[in-house]
Amino acid sequence: MSDDVWVVVPCFNEASVIAEVVGDLRSKFTHVVCVDDGSTDDTAAQAVRAGATLVRHPVNLGQGAALQTGVEYARRRAGARYFATFDADGQHRTEDLVVMIERLRTEPVDIVIGSRFASADTAKPPWFKRTILRVATATSRHARQLGLTDTHNGLRAFNRTVADRLDLTINGMGHASEFISLISENGWRVTEQSVDIAYTPYSRSRGQSILNGVNVLTDGLVRNRMRR
Amino acid sequence: MIWMQLLLLAGFVSLVLYLLVSSDRAKVQAGAKLAFAFFIVAGVYAVLRPDDLTVLANALGIDRGTDLLLYVLVVAFAFFAVSTYLHFRRLELDFGRLARRVAIQEAESQIAPPEDQ
């Protein structure tokens, strides 16, 4: 059991799967913090029953805001040295995260990002989504500079250096690109870990619609103007 | 027509710059108020003496004063839309931070306080 790791799981109306996801994480990590982003179903109660710490947004803010909340809560906890972000829909594998945390402990890196494209033999997203993700990565200046292959993966593990300075300002889905920009701007040492994604009917149904890409692009465009 | 086209294009270019270049909030607000005051005065004048508007339009290479008015309105509306969008984005960010603090305080009130802060 890893006592110095805090896993942040942003969740919004995930009552049917959250208990299983938290339970699985808790078999390897003591601290799992679920940020309930104003769910209207039983998500919060299910998460607590499965052993997660609950932080609850009074209103729905978006996944980026939930991640930031979870990290801010976790970095205030005594003894927290490593942090992770993990999607609530059950598409990530706990074993992948265990490997990523181990790399943080042993290698000279600040952050390890999960990638669906780093290795040839991991499960790939459906072709249309794959194309969109490829384009998103190819058009990201920061991703190119850092040599990253997957900018929109919810599985990340990082140390205190990153957690202490993390300040996501994009509340919605555009936070994934913002995360990459922050890595580049702060000069954090980054590496990728090839991870498997379970594309179940459930996680597919919860996936992002392609149209949301428009929102992601505009969010990124005006991000610099939002800086104080 | 060429002068008017240049003017309008300049208007749109400055709109994009306004969107992309981070700037001093107080200055922007003051600028918006001045522009608004000018807009009101010019509007009143255009209502009272519509022929003058046509003279101005002709000088800029446009036939009718109403066309000039329309073009200026389009640019002004675009400015309004963008500044409103930016304003809401900032409010969303502040609102999110507020909600975050509430959420964290609520969660921490149920456990022992953090040691280091």
Write the pLDDT tens digit of every residue in A31-87. Answer: 999 999 999 999 999 999 999 999 999 999 999 999 999 999 999 999 999 999 999
* Model confidence, pTM: 0.80
**B116: chain A residues, CB-CB within 8 Å:** 76, 78
Tens of pLDDT, residues A146-193: 888 888 889 999 999 999 999 999 888 788 889 999 999 999 999 999
Question: Is the CB of B114 less than 8 angstroms away from the CB of A53?
Answer: no
When pLDDT is averaged across residues A220-228 and rounded to a whole number, the result is 63
Tell me the shortest Cα–Cα distance from B106 to chain A, in angstroms: 8
| Overall average pLDDT of the B27-46 stretch | 80
Question: Is the confidence at residue B64, as pLDDT, over 50?
Answer: yes
Chain A closest CA to B71's CA: distance in Å? 26
Most confident of A83-97, A186-200, B84-98: A83-97
Backbone angles phi, psi at B61, to 5 degrees: 90, 15
Chain B residues 50-79 with a CB less than 8 Å from chain A:
none
Query: For residue A175, which residues of chain B lie inside 8 Å, CB to CB?
Result: none
Residues 6+ apart with CB under 8 A from B111: A53
Residue among A65, A68, A78 minimizing CB distance to B115:
A78
Structure token digits, residue A122 = 């991991």
Query: Helix crossing, B2-20 with B65-108: angle to 10°?
Result: 10
CATH 3.90.550.10 fits A2-226, yes or no: yes
Mutate to test the interface with A, among B89, B115, B116, B117 (most CBs of A within 10 A): B89
Q: Do B99 and A61 touch (CB under 8 A)?
A: yes
Mean pLDDT score across all residues of chain A: 88
Q: How confident is the model at residue A121 (pLDDT cuts 50, 70, 90)?
A: low
Tell me if B67 sits within 8 A of B60, measured CB to CB.
Answer: no
- ipTM of the prediction greater than 0.95, yes or no: no
- CA separation for the pair B48, A152 (Å, rounded): 58
Mean pLDDT of chain B: 81
**Nearest CA to CA, how far is A11 from chain B (Å)?**
14
Which residues in chain A touch residue B106, judged by CB atoms under 8 angstroms apart? 55-56
CA distances from A134 to A35, A68, A79, A143, A200 (A): 29, 26, 38, 11, 21
Domain residue limits, chain A: 2-226
Question: Is the distance from CB of B73 to CB of B81 less than 8 angstroms?
Answer: no
